Chain A
Amino acid sequence: MSGGALGFMLLAWVVILGGVYVTMSNLIKYQQK
């Protein structure tokens, strides 16, 4: 896999996984409020 392809894929994955983590962990906090 070329560096460019790997870079774009990892960037997209990190943004999305980060978004899932932040929103889900905040939803848990909201639930416990």
Chain B
Amino acid sequence: MAEGRENWGTKLGLILAMAGNAIGLGNFWRFPYQAAKNGGGAFMIPYFAALIILGIPIMYVEWMQGRYGGKYGHGTVGCMVYLQSKERTSHTTAAILGSLVGMLVFSVVSLVNAYYTQIIGWTLGYSYLSLTGGYMDKAKSTGEIFVNYIQTPGLSITFWVIALFLLGLALTRGVQKGIEAWAKVMMPSLYVLGFILIIRALTLGTPVNPDWSPLKGLDYLWSPHWNELSWQSALAAAGQIFFTLSLGMGIIQNYASYLKPDDDIVLSATATVFLNEFAEVILGGSIAIPIAYTFLGTEGIKQSVGLSFIALPNVFRMMPAGQIFGAFWFLILFFAGFTSAIAMYNYLIALLEEDLNIPRRVGSWLIFALYIIIGLPVALEPVLTKTAELVFLTELDNWVGSYFLVVVGLLEVFVVGWLFGEKKSLEEVNRGSYWKISSAFFNIMIKWVTPLAIAILLVFSTRSYIKDGYFRWVPSFVEKMPNLVPWVQGARLLLFAILIIGFIEAYTTIQKKYGPGAAAQKAYKA
């Protein structure tokens, strides 16, 4: 058993921190865009099916894996997967499996957060611009203002560093005084600001065109377009579930590792899922699209990232008290992003603390420096190339922020379903739980349905990646921009370096702790 490991202070704090972990930027800009693009109301059918088949079972697996690892002092996934795989495989096979998952998760928390924190920086910068009227000048288009923002280091890099500094500062204070304390402030604020914006959005009337109203926006989002329902939209729904619940990133396990050995899992994990869905479908679905539709019609809502940073500022300029409502919108995005980024950041601190014995206070600033170094190319690309394509970010996001999540999800469900086994898994997940998981749920969902669904998702995603040219030496999205090719190759080089470091780190730690003669192995057996 792990001695002296920090735990969550309160149940409410845990639920808010876990909900904050899951609720991110994707809830507010990705969901409405995906739903509108993939069949509107009809999209909700594969979406809810994916929530039941993938989201909830993987969430249980990750909470259980995390609490199990925490008992042995592990907040990182490599050792957790090793310990559970070891039940039915040799030390070497378990060590390789653990190292593979550890490697993929290491790349996710390092590289995804390197660009995710920059987007959080944009939201912070845009909150400031909203309050100071920075995009209110109608002589300049909001597209121009956004491009100028990301190409001006004084703005983009400054707010990114401020966001990273706040994350580092929060994490020096640990789980209870850092993560939990910030979640208790940010999550309720997010919901309150969300409600204010929904009320504002739905009472806008028809200020620009009698055919453009908030209800027409909701109609656009929710009307079932059955002809648009296809395999592609089912894949989009499954991908959205991974993305929105922060699955396959190792960060749910990391937070669950701070649970006490008899803390509830099943009910708390289900509550996290529903709080996330509340933020995504109800808040996310009722703010951006109705507001943008009311002022800009259908043209204004056909963008993804552009919806938040280009279309909506255009609306806030036209709205009465637009500066205040603009600040509310960007603060919601900031809070959502911050409470997810803090989880990825904390994963790396746990890795330094547990694997390399580096104290949290020092580790927090070391990771700050790491994010600055690996995030700098993302920030510098628009500044140096004077473009706004963000290909370095796109390449990393295509692999680490999307594809790897599904691979990790498949591996962890396979380990729990087939290696850790029914008896141990049910014993572990149900111990202390207010709701229990039945043997039938485990045997049908976790052993068969969920891994098969993830495997199908992976096969179709691979097929679509091949079709879209992402496997090519020069990927399709950069073919016509030769000056940007080195940025894509640089992203790939960085990705390979991080994967190699991640594998070596995870393998060395497993060998050090559980290899022949290691002290932890004796403690685990005891």
The residues of A with any CB-CB pair to B shorter than 8 Å are 1-2, 4-9, 11-13, 15-17, 19-20, 23-24, 26-27, 29-31, 33
| A4–B224 CB distance below 8 A | yes
Write out the residue numbers on chain A whose beta carbons fall within 8 Å of the beta carbon of B278. 16-17, 20
Binary interface profile of B, 28-53, with partner A (CB < 8 Å = 1, else 0)?
A: 00000000000011101000100000
* Other-chain contact of A19, B216, B221, B264, B274 (Cβ < 8 Å): B274
Closest 9 CB pairs of A and B: A8-B41, A19-B274, A23-B271, A5-B222, A30-B434, A5-B223, A9-B222, A1-B219, A20-B274
Query: Measured between C-beta atoms, what is the minimum distance from B283 to chain A in Å?
Result: 10
* B445 close to A (CB within 8 Å): no
Give the nearest-CB partner of B277 in chain A. Answer: A16
Q: Which residues of B contact A17 (CB under 8 A)?
A: 278, 282
Q: Give the residue of B15, B42, B219, B281 whose beta carbon is less than 8 angstroms from that of A2.
A: B219
CA distance A5 to B43 in the complex (A): 12
- Asked if B270 is at the interface of the complex by the 8 Å CB criterion, the answer is yes
6 interchain pairs (CB within 8 A)? Answer: A1-B218, A4-B41, A5-B41, A16-B274, A27-B271, A31-B11
Are B222 and A13 in touch, CB under 8 angstroms? no
Asked if B267 CB lies within 8 Å of chain A CBs, one says yes
Contacts of A16 in B (CB 8 A): 274, 277-278, 281-282
> For the complex, is B435 an interface residue (Cβ under 8 Å from A)?
yes
Measured CB to CB, the residues of B under 8 A from A are: 11, 15, 40-42, 44, 48, 215-216, 218-219, 221-224, 264, 267-268, 270-271, 273-275, 277-278, 281-282, 285, 434-435
Q: Give Cα A26 to B267, complex, Å.
A: 8
- How many angstroms between the C-alpha atoms of A4 and B222 in the bound complex? 8
With beta carbons under 8 angstroms apart, the residue of A9, A23, A31 that contacts B41 is A9
Please give me the residue from chain A that is nearest to B273 by CB atom: A19
> Is A20's CB under 8 angstroms from B219's CB?
no
Main secondary structure of the interface of A (DSSP, over half): helix
Identify the closest chain A residue to B214 (Cβ).
A1
Residues of chain A contacted by B40 (CB below 8 angstroms): 5, 8
Smallest CB-CB separation from A8: which chain B residue?
A: B41
Residues in B whose Cβ lies below 8 Å from that of A27: 11, 15, 267-268, 271, 434
Do A5 and B218 form a contact, CB below 8 Å, given A16-B282, A23-B270, A27-B271?
yes
A32 to chain B, nearest CB (A): 11
Question: With contacts A16-B278, A26-B435 known, is A4 near B223, CB below 8 A?
Answer: yes
Q: How far is the CA of A29 from the CA of B270 in the complex (A)?
A: 15
Of all chain B residues, the one with the shortest Cβ separation from A24 is B271
A2 nearest CB across to chain B (Å): 6
Interchain CA distance A1-B40 in the complex, whole Å = 13
Kindly provide the distance from the CB of A31 to the nearest chain B CB, expressed in whole angstroms: 6
Starting from the known contacts A5-B41, A24-B271, 7 additional A-B residue pairs (CB-CB under 8 Å) come to A1-B216, A5-B219, A7-B41, A11-B44, A13-B282, A20-B274, A27-B434
The smallest C-beta distance from A22 to any residue of chain B, in angstroms, reads 8
Q: B218 contacts which chain A residues (CB < 8 A)? A: 1, 5, 9
Query: Which A residues are CB-close (under 8 A) to B435?
Result: 26
Residues of chain A with a CB closer than 8 A to B219's CB: 1-2, 5
Task: For A23, give the chain B residue with the smallest CB separation.
Answer: B271
Chain A residues, Cβ within 8 Å of B434:
26-27, 29-30, 33
Pairwise interchain contact B215-A23, C-beta atoms closer than 8 A = no
* Docked CA distance A19–B11 (Å): 18
Contacts of B270 in A (CB 8 A): 19, 23
- Whether the pair A20, B223 counts as a contact (CB closer than 8 A) is no
- A24-B16 Cα distance, complex, nearest whole Å: 12
Q: Could you say which residues of chain B place their CB within 8 Å of the CB of A12?
A: 44, 48, 281, 285
Q: Which A residues touch B216, using CB under 8 A?
A: 1
- Point out the residues of chain A lying under 8 angstroms from B282, CB to CB: 13, 16-17
B273 to chain A: closest CB distance in Å?
8
Bound-state Cα–Cα, A12 to B277, Å = 10
A17 to B11, CA, bound (A): 21
A6 to B223, CA, bound (A): 8
Report the Cα distance A6→B222, complex, angstroms: 7
Chain B hits for A20, CB < 8 A: 271, 274-275, 278
Q: Which A residues touch B267, using CB under 8 A? A: 23, 26-27, 30
A11 to B281, CA, bound (A): 11
Closest approach, in angstroms, between the C-beta of B40 and any C-beta of chain A? 7
In the complex, which residues of chain B have a beta carbon less than 8 angstroms from the beta carbon of A23? 267, 270-271, 274
Verify A1–B215 contact, CB threshold 8 A: yes
The chain A residue sitting closest to B222, CB to CB, is A5
Question: How far is it, in angstroms, between the C-alpha of A31 and the C-alpha of B268 when the chains are bound?
Answer: 11
Known contacts A13-B281, A16-B274, A16-B278, A2 near B223 by CB under 8 Å: yes
Contacts of B271 in A (CB 8 A): 20, 23-24, 27
Query: In the complex, A1→B219 CA distance in Å?
Result: 5
Cα of A17 to Cα of B283 in the assembled complex, Å: 12
CB atoms of A30 and B41 under 8 A apart: no
